[in-house]
Chain A
């Protein structure tokens, strides 16, 4: 890691003047603080995971390239086919860390929503951006966060004013496609006002990326009485490394529902850090990972109950085939005055082979005395009695396995309220379980035209 840290130090000195918004003092000092934090700690990964299971340090090298200019504009659908038909009303895309647009980096909607490039927002709405940017990070504690803040090229900026119900989900697509070994840092800032309702589908895809390393941070601020749905999906190249850090702060009576769904990964880490800052806030942090071959997926969830009367649920489920590796690390912190906290955590795993590995580590840290908390973790195989019952009715072994795995997986998606999105995801799960999804070399959501299912699961009836 020494080499990597030296590489980052040199790179920062070399390219700092070429990073976006370099004429903005606030941004420059933001980057300066960040690089200092990073260099103080260095790249700290080992503390977070079981080193034996996660040889990521071997994968990170010290010869990454930074893309300091956007790729010349091409329409999104010419490079990438992703249609969540009838689900997302608008799609915003990033290409190798740069906002993809044809001259209009920010869209202002009639209802007052502002969506677009964070760099452009820094210029147009500095007060709005700096009222929040970086406020709720794990400052100094997390070197990856610091790395991101030092080098970020751009990211999505979303501002939803008070009293706005956004009917259809918005979609953000992060694409990485390069012949070079790119290190990409996207920094996203999402601010949702009071009494509002907003859904975001956030996709990370790589088209073909030579050992790319993405290190993204998403900050989400949710005001009172507001509901935010955040659905995050990964379909990455086997060689890619992706670290995603989502930081959420919730005000009173707000609801946050997230689903981190990993279908294909090289090395994917999803880190959720949710703070329930005011009473009666509710968070449901869910995840599903369906991985095979030598894929590695690593989920870290930290729910911080900082105020009384809040509720949190974590449900993470995974199916591991071949030599896949998964890690779940769930931490619930209940501070002393967070009385009447209800916090629940579940992690369930199915390993299909002896070589697949799962490490699950529930961790409750409770300082209040009037709380209701639980955690549970299981690792197992498919149930033989259930398999036999299905087969004894004429269902072949393959389909019986599929039915059981499907039933296991869709428990997670059943919490998604957006019916179209849920049924599309369930379709994806089927395809993934049948092994078809890994054949798609482009976005896994681009399947709406293919009607070649032979498997008799009627999703609409489930």
Chain B
């Protein structure tokens, strides 16, 4: 098992967001997490990335048989975790080349591998740019600075291609994309899918899942996964909305409470 989240409770400023959240992911799988706004989808991505504004009050996250919560942000990345951010940040003055080269060589050093030479690095850049059809010259551009919304998201997937992660969490990578850009991004992700890695796509729309066929679809509501199905579930949600899932969940909760 690549990732196992057990009874995870997370709060921010005293407000509970994830409540006894459970999820298991194996290599080779693609999971989609859907759900209404404000139910904790992005919180999940942030906690896995290591953002320290959240308090993990109980539960655990086991990644590659290690306690993920004890690992630093950078070590999580070095161990193969990649987060595609919903709002990639602009960093003026830091060029894409420097950024990627520093990241890759630090990761390589962590794995006791030789750093890439300048030529190897540039070759890799050119190769991976093709994954998301990035044509712009990146060498003299600052990270995300002046990038359009679509370019920023493409740039996230480009970084994913460069870093070759084992577990990718893509947080609303499809939001703000036009149809063409969505296709490019989705095809890029599909291209990167393999037996050795796992991908979690957090999305509001079924449309992305036409391209990236998920093995499992989860509905996140009230801080936990309340329903899991296959790709058909996504179609059903698209058609009927979330209300029926919410009602089903509330009824179950009432029943449970009644029993107690």
Interfacial residues, chain A to chain B (CB-CB below 8 A):
383, 385-386, 388-397, 399, 403-404, 406-408, 410-411, 456-458, 461-462
B63 to chain A, nearest CB (A): 15
Other-chain contact of A392, B49, B94, B104 (Cβ < 8 Å): B49
Task: Find A399's partner among B72, B92, B102 (CB 8 Å cutoff).
Answer: B102
A404 in contact with B91 (CB, 8 Å): yes
B88 within 8 A of A: yes
A410 and B142 alpha carbons, distance in the complex (Å): 13
Tell me whether B44 is interfacial, beta carbon within 8 Å. Answer: no
How far is A457 from B51 in the complex, measured between Cα atoms in Å? 25
A389 near B89 with CB under 8 A, answer yes
Q: Is the CB of B115 within 8 A of A456?
A: yes
Contact present for B118 and A395 (CB under 8 Å): no
Q: In the assembly, what is the distance between CA of A458 and CA of B98, in Å?
A: 6
Known: A395-B103, A399-B106. A410 touches B93 (CB 8 A): yes
Query: What residues on B are CB-neighbors of A458 within 8 Å?
Result: 97-98, 101, 118
CB A288 to nearest CB in B, in angstroms, measures 13
Interface-facing stretch out of B6-14, B77-85, B206-214: B77-85
* Shortest distance between the CB of B102 and any CB in chain A (Å): 4
Q: What is the bound-complex CA distance between A396 and B75, given in angstroms?
A: 8
* Contact between chains at A461 and B73 (CB < 8 Å): no
Cβ distance B122 to chain A, nearest Cβ, rounded Å: 9
Q: Which residues of B sit under 8 angstroms from A456, Cβ to Cβ? A: 98, 101-102, 105-106, 115
Whether B93 pairs with A394 at a CB distance below 8 angstroms is no
Q: A396-B106, A456-B102, A462-B98 are in contact. Are A391 and B77 (CB under 8 A)?
A: yes
Contact A390 B106 (CB under 8 A): no
Q: Is B74 an interface residue (CB 8 A)?
A: yes
The contact of B74 among A396, A403, A404, by CB within 8 Å, is A396
Question: What is the CB-to-nearest-CB distance from A437 to chain B, in angstroms, rounded to a whole number?
Answer: 20
Partner of A391, one of B73, B91, B143: B73
Residue of A383, A385, A390, A461 touching B139 (CB-CB under 8 A): A461
Which one of B88, B99, B110 lies within 8 Å of A403 (CB-CB)? Answer: B99
A394 in contact with B91 (CB, 8 Å)? no
A391 near B89 with CB under 8 A, answer no
Query: Bound complex: CA of A103 vs CA of B110, how far in Å?
Result: 59
Residue of A nearest to B49 (CB): A392
Given contacts A388-B73, A392-B49, whether A462 and B95 have CB atoms under 8 Å apart is: yes
User: Mind listing 10 A-B residue pairs with CB under 8 Å?
Assistant: A383-B89, A386-B89, A391-B74, A392-B85, A393-B103, A394-B77, A396-B74, A403-B102, A458-B118, A461-B140
Interface 0/1 of B38-52, CB less than 8 Å to A: 000000000001110
Pick the residue among A391, A393, A397, A407 that contacts B92 (CB under 8 A).
A407
Say if the beta carbon of B107 comes within 8 Å of chain A: yes
Count of chain B residues with a beta carbon within 8 Å of a chain A beta carbon: 38
**Does B159 reach chain A (CB closer than 8 Å)?**
yes
Q: In the complex, which residue of chain A has the Cβ closest to the Cβ of B107? A: A394
Quick check: is B163 within 8 A (CB to CB) of the other chain? Answer: yes
* Cβ contacts under 8 Å, A390 to chain B: 91, 94, 99, 103
Instruction: Output the least CB separation between B230 and chain A (Å).
Output: 31
Using Cβ atoms and an 8 Å threshold, which residues of chain B touch A385? 89
| A-side interface mostly | helix
**A391, A394, A407: the one within 8 Å of B94 (CB):** A407
**A393 partner, pick from B93, B97, B99, B115, beta carbons under 8 A:** B99
Contact B88 A389 (CB under 8 A): yes
Tell whether, in the assembled complex, residue A389 and residue B74 are in contact, meaning their CB atoms are under 8 Å apart.
no
Nearest Cβ on chain A to B252's Cβ, whole angstroms: 36
Contact A392–B106 (Cβ < 8 Å): no
CA distance A462 to B83 in the complex (A): 26
In the complex, the answer to whether A394 meets B98 with C-beta atoms within 8 Å is no
Cα A394 to Cα B93 with chains together (Å): 19
- The answer for the CA separation of A456 and B103 in the assembled complex, in Å, is 9
Check B78 against A394 for contact (C-beta < 8 Å).
Answer: yes
User: Would you give the shortest CB distance from B128 to chain A, in whole angstroms?
Assistant: 14
- The residues of A that contact B115 with a CB separation of less than 8 Å are 456
Residues of A within 8 A of B94 (CB): 390, 403-404, 406-407
A395 touches B50 (CB 8 A): no
Instruction: Report chain A residues within 8 Å CB of B83.
Output: 392
Within 8 Å by CB of B77, from A393, A408, A462, lies A393
Q: Output the least CB separation between A204 and chain B (Å).
A: 27
Determine the distance from Cα of A66 to Cα of B78 in the docked complex, in whole angstroms.
Answer: 60
A461 and B88: CB pair below 8 A?
no
A383 to B51, CA, bound (A): 14
Q: Which residues of the other chain, B, contact A410 by a CB distance below 8 angstroms?
A: 93
**Sample of 12 further A-B pairs with CB below 8 A, known A389-B88, A392-B76, A397-B74:** A383-B89, A386-B89, A390-B91, A391-B73, A391-B77, A394-B78, A403-B102, A407-B92, A456-B106, A456-B115, A458-B98, A462-B98
Bound-state Cα–Cα, A193 to B159, Å: 53
What 6 A-B pairs have minimum CB-CB distances, sorted nearest first?
A407-B93, A394-B77, A393-B103, A391-B73, A456-B102, A394-B107
Q: Please indicate the chain B residues that have their CB under 8 angstroms from the CB of A411 in the complex.
A: 93
Indicate if the CB atoms of B77 and A392 lie closer than 8 Å.
yes
- List residues of chain B with CB within 8 A of the CB of A457: 98, 102
User: Chain B nearest CB: distance from A240 CB in Å?
Assistant: 32
- Cα separation A395 to B51 with both chains bound (whole Å): 15
| Contact indicator B99/A394 (Cβ below 8 Å) | no
Q: Which of B88, B93, B102, B140 contacts A395 (CB 8 A)?
A: B102
Min CB distance B159 to A, Å, is 7
Residues of A within 8 A of B88 (CB): 389
Which residues of A sit under 8 angstroms from B103, Cβ to Cβ? 390, 393-395
**Given A410-B93, A456-B105, A394-B51 contact (CB < 8 Å):** no
Among residues 100 to 124 in chain B, which have CB atoms less than 8 Å away from a CB atom of chain A?
100-107, 110, 115, 118
Report B119 CB to chain A, min CB distance, Å. Answer: 12
Nearest CB on B from A408, distance (A): 6
Q: Are A393 and B163 in contact (CB under 8 A)?
A: yes
Q: Which residues of A contact B93 (CB under 8 A)?
A: 404, 406-408, 410-411
**CB of A390, distance to nearest CB on chain B (Å):** 7
* Complex alpha-carbon distance, A301 and B153, angstroms: 43
Residues of chain A within 8 A of B140, CB atoms compared? 461-462
Cβ of B97: which chain A residues have Cβ within 8 Å of it? 458, 461-462
